[in-house]
Amino acid sequence: MFIVNLVFLKIFIAIILDGYNAMQIQDTRLFNTDMNDRFREVWAEFDPDGTTFIKMNQLKDFLFSLGEPLGFDESYRDHRFMQDTFIASIELPTYNGF
């Protein structure tokens, strides 16, 4: 009986540790739940009607509003070449100026 209780205790501890490890991994991901929520909030500011499009001339403001790690940090503020290089590197599709 004691051995059975010990086995169940070890399984219970393993489940807790596995859940803890999963949460640690999720928290360290670049695009975790918090970042997803942040992206949605900022996107909603630039696309209030939910068209899934923003204008190209709004893209830099969007990336600055989004901030690190998905957008621009303050080191990009006065460096238009860096901004343009980054935007060109992500190869966004355009549709009628959007």
How confident is the model over 69-86, as pLDDT tens digits? 788 888 888 888 888 888
Structure tokens at 87: 């935007």
Q: Which residue, chain included where needed, has tokens 């080191």?
A: 75
Report if pTM > 0.95. no
Statement to judge: residues 22 and 57 lie in one domain: no
Structure tokens at 62: 């969007």
pLDDT class of 30 with cuts at 50, 70, 90: low
Statement to judge: residues 13 and 58 lie in one domain: no
Statement to judge: residues 23 and 54 lie in one domain: no
CB of 31 closer than 8 Å to CB of 70 = yes
Domain that holds residue 11: 1-30
